[in-house]
Structure formats: C-alpha cells, structure tokens
Structure 1
Amino acid sequence: MSRLVLLASAAVLAGAGLTGQAVAQPPAGGGMCAKQPLSWVAVCADDTTTKGGSPGSASSGGKTDKGKGKAPVPEPCVVMKMDPQPPAGSALWEGHDPGNGAVYTRFCPAGIAAATAAGAIGLGYEEFWSATEPAAAAVDPRVLAQQAVDKMLLTGPDIDINPRPGGRGLVGMPVWMAADPSPTTWGPNTASATAGAVTVTATAKVSQVVWSMGDGTSVTCHGPGSVYKTSYGLRKSPTCGHVYTEPSSTTSSGRFRVTATATWDIDWQVDGGGEAGQLTEVRTSAVALTIAESQALNS
C-alpha cells in the first residue's frame, strides 16, 4: 500500500534528493490525487486566477459570470522516483525485491487542505511502488489556452454612448455608440498558462460589437465606434450609430435597455512552436436610455 505523509515545508522536496516529473494522472495505487483521473490536467493545471467583470460594466455574459467566486485551481501533482531507492526489506517495496519496479513519491499541493484538516500545515505526499515508470503528463494545450484566457479577465464593452444614460435623447436624433478600448474591454490582451513543460500563450481582441437598442433593432459595429463631441452637433456617427423612431415611454420601464455584446477572437499557440488554435468568447454590458418626443420636451 502507498503511505500518506504530511510534510511541514516544501523545502523537503529539495532535501529529499528526488528526481521526477509531473504526471497526467496518478499510477495505480490511489491516493488523494486519484480522485479526478479523467480531468487531471483541467483540474490540476497551474492556474490560481479567478474570473470577474469590471466595476463599470452594467452586466456581463459568457464565461465572465460563470467564473465568479470560483476557488483557485491547485497546482499539479508531481511524481518522483526515490533516489536512492529504499533498502531491501523496506515496507515501501510492498513485498517486491529491489530492481523489480521502483518506489516513487507523489507530491500534491492540494494536500494542504488535508493537512489543515489534520491539524498540520504543509504539502501532502505519498510513497508507492509501481512496476513501470509513471507516464509523463499528457497536457491538453486547449485546456491551457482557456486558462490563459481566464487570466485576462475579459469583460463586456466599456460603453460610451450619447445621449448619456441619465439624460434624455430625442426621437429622430442620432445616437452615437462607442466602446472605450482597454486591454480587458477591447484588447489586445495576452496571457499564458503552464502545466508541466508546456506553456500556451493566447492573445485576445474584440472583432465586433452587436448593439441591441431595446426597440427591436440591432446594429453590428466592427470597430470601437466614435466618441461623440459637442462640436459634432446633430451629425450621425460615421462608424456606429442609431436613430430611434419612437420614444422609450412605449416600453414598460420607460427606458430602452441597450446591450453591447462583444465577440472576442482569441489566437493561441504552444510556446516554441507546435499546436495552435482559436477560441471565441462573448461578453455583454448594458445601459438604459430615455428617448423622448421633441414636443414633450418643449411643453
């Protein structure tokens, strides 16, 4: 049987004189790391970042909301061959003779939780015999690509619209829609994630924003739009605009709910060459506009 031990400090790793590698899933013998063998890389990859939206976003969609409050993902477990091997007759050989297989040590940072529950603080590890050397980690670069995207904390557009929310616009007058660019609201945004010897770097940027105007129409803009200035007067936006044909009083809330849904295009590649691919993420922000008929303002 394997033997579960709790170390007081990670420094024991260096002092134990061990050599080894991360593994995709634990070898036969169980232990704390054997609980999730079918999703080993996804569960144990080195990523402790949680997702969340920006304070300025009225709402967010896609995977921004999905990740809120998510607990940090533990670092991967590492399996090492004991060096030197235990002497003949040691219980660690589990009845086998030296040279018949080998004795390994599995270190799991997730054992911190087990250590705390046991009244100790440190890393959990267990010693076990195996007839064959555990396989090296089969890292899925697509999983690392998604983890890199999670680190970016991508959000919905930072809406810059005229007329301003809280003010009033007029039926028949142009509305200017824009998204103030930043790394988390427009891109480009780059991050990396690593598991074992594999590092994936991903770069994300917004390719389009679909504006749902709250009156049953939508406008698709392939750039951030133009920010309105008072010197522009009553001109229409040259890049991203809309004209309301009815007042917002026709809605139950008395305002048009305008949502801006950004599509993030993401390119990723394994560092040093090799596999590459693309991902797509969607994020949404919203504001509310009051649009009145001109005679109502003049009365």
Structure 2
Amino acid sequence: MSARRSAAAAVLALFLLGVPAEFAVADGPGGGVNCPPTKLDCPITAEDDKPPTDGKPGKPGGGGDGGGGGKATCAIDGKEVPCSTDMGRFNPADACYWQVLDPQPGPDDPVWGYATGVPDGWKPGDPGKLYNVSCPGIGRELAGGTTFSAAGPAGGGVDVQALAQRAVENLRLEGADIGVAPKPSGVGVVGMPVWIWNKPGPTRTGPATASATAGSVTVTATAKVRNVTYTMGDGETVVCTGPGTPYKAEYGKRRSPDCGHRYSTPSSSVDGGRYKVTATTTWDVEWAGAGQTGTITTTRDAGTSVEIREVQVLN
C-alpha cells in the first residue's frame, strides 16, 4: 500500500472511531488544501489553484431524448384492440372504427339518401360529414355503415397519440438540478461520502401535469420521475429512486441515507482533473383523452463535476 493510501486509511480509521483528526489534500495539481474533519467539501486555499472551468452544475433540462413511443390502449368488451387500423380510428363511444369519406359525396349523390343520421333540412355547407363506420365483433356489423356526424366521432378524427406527445411537450420536463457535496467549487477526498440530490420542483422531481387540445379533444398528461441515474465519472453509476437528501453541515461525514457515492481514486486520474457527473432523469408519463390511455417514457440529462483528491495526515 502506498504512503498516500496508508494516510487515507489512517484518516478513515480515525473518523470511524470518532477520534478528531485534521487532514489535508495531498500535494498535486492545485496544491495543498486544509480540510477539517467535519466537512465534506474543502475550500481551495492554495494560491496556485486555478478555478474550475466546468465545475458549475449543468442547467436543468439539458439533453435527453424526446420520449419513447406511447402505446395507446383501446378495448371492446374488455379485449384490447388497435386504436387505429385501415378501417379508421377507434371511437370509444360506440366501440367502432370511424373513417371520414374523402372526398365527401356531392350534393346529388344518392348516398345522402341512405346514410344514417342525416338531419332533416341539412344541406351541403352545413356542419357535418359522412363517415364509413365499421364495428368489428360478432353481431355488431349492422351497427356500422355510412353515418353522418356533425361533430365527428369521439376524437373527431384527431390523432390522439400525437396530441399526447404535444401534452408531454407542454409539461416542459427538465433534467435534475443537481446538488452535490462536496460542492463543485470545493474539493472532496478519496474514500469520503459524496452526497447527491435533485433539488425539488414539479418539472424536475414531479409530479407535473399538462394538457393539449385539438378541436373537442383534450389529452391530459401526468409525469412522475421513475429514477435518476448518476454516472459518476469513475466508471460507477448510482440509481436513486427519490430526489435524495440535501446535505447539511451538521451531518458531518455521515453517508447519505438514500443517494450517495464514494470515490476510490482521485480525479487527477481523468482528463481535466475532475470527475464529470451526469444525471439522467427517467420520466413516466401517463396520458388519457378521447377514451384512450397510454404511457410515454422520456429522459432528461443534466451535469456537473467534482474534484476528488487523496489526503495525508498532518502532524
């Protein structure tokens, strides 16, 4: 074991035994740094230290994909069926598929004489269109046919899944607003606890709700965070199912109860001398509208960085 590793082990042993010990970051890039035993982040005091160029937390909402495809759910007598087929779009009001006639028949077309639902006195130019209605299922075929509707079927021909994607965009979901101890402006030490948390807010930790409307159809989406995966820059990942616990000075060198990490090597071993920390928030978004429901999964990224050094015992 190297002298530095032995010194670090000695400091850890003193900490675990509850014996006060002063320690300092070992010489190297940035010079010596005093760090009292009650703090997790050590302010840089050496004159030859250079301020970090990438140490500020990443802005929430950076990166991330646009979301996985949401699978709509439609059903006839409790059995799931496609929400859209070559017969048209599913109408939950009558459990039939509606497809608008395109082009619409001319005013003298005989179809107006046998289409169902055409109101007395209706004339071309008045609101309403003709639809081909198909009702799959034994004994239900007679429920279909050419049908007039002034407002259209439930959904009005709107692509409900596309409207759900709009509702997700209206949520304005963000990546984590990362809190970390040691702070990016300070220095941590090998083997000591690192605390991580996501600062609360509806668009960062959820739940968040938003809607999108097209015609008479409104889709409402509700988003909840499934987890946040932190890539710590040393080849390790930490998955946190909650926002994490913000660090307070009175916690001393205790470990985070729910979202933390320990580095086993100094960050001088990586390019730039700092560990880059990336937080990927996975959101589950449930949506509903026009008798349809579905779930969309989307992610958002954010980042920060930390400097970790080895320590040496001071006599």
> Into which bin does the TM-score normalised by the smaller protein fall?
0.5 to 0.7
1:151 to 142, 159, 170: 170
State the partner residue of 1:202: 221
Return the match for 1:252 from 253, 263, 271: 271
Q: Where do 1:97-176 residues align within 5 Å? A: 99=108, 104=125, 136=152, 137-176=156-195
Contact 1:165–1:290 under 8 Å retained in 2: yes
Corresponding residue number in structure 2 for 1:267: 286
Larger Rg over CA atoms: 2
Aligned residue in 1 for 2:63: 60
Q: Residue deviations 1:26-58, cap 9 Å, x none?
A: xxxxxxxxxxxxxxxxxxxxxxxxxxxx98338
Q: Please list every run of 5 or more consecutive structure 1 residues that lacks an aligned counterpart in the other structure.
A: 1-53, 65-95, 107-131
Superposed displacement of residue 195, structure 1: 1.2
With CA pairs under 8 Å and 6+ residues apart, which has the higher RCO, 1 or 2?
2
* Amino-acid identity (%): 46
User: Structure 2: which amino acid aligns with 1:61?
Assistant: G
Corresponding residue pairs, total: 187
| Shift in Å, 1:145 | 1.2
234, 244, 261: which one aligns with 1:225: 244
Cα offset, 1:235, TM superposition: 0.4
In structure 2, the residue matched to 1:282 is 299
Q: 1:98 to 1:210 in 2, by over 3 A?
A: closer
Could you say if the C-alpha distance between residues 228 and 192 of structure 1 is closer, same or farther in structure 2, counting changes exceeding 3 Å?
same
Give the Cα separation in 1 of the matches to 2:289 and 2:193.
46
Q: Cα deviation per residue 1:208-239 (whole Å; 9 max; x = unaligned)?
A: 01010000000111000010001000100010
Structure 2 length-normalised TM: 0.54
Q: Distance in 1 between matches of 2:106 and 2:269?
A: 85
Amino acid at match of 1:190: T
The corresponding residue for 1:243 is 262
Q: CA RMSD in A?
A: 3.1
Give the gaps of 5 or more residues in structure 2.
Answer: 1-56, 68-104, 113-122, 128-147
Q: Secondary structure at the match of 1:227?
A: coil
- Judge conservation of contact 2:211–2:221 (CA < 8 Å) in 1: yes
Give TM-score scaled by structure 1 length: 0.57
Gap change, CA 1:97 and 1:260, over 3 Å in 2: closer
How far has the Cα of 1:249 moved from its partner?
0.4
Secondary structure of the 1:253 match is helix
- Output the CA distance in 1 between the equivalents of 2:106 and 2:225: 61
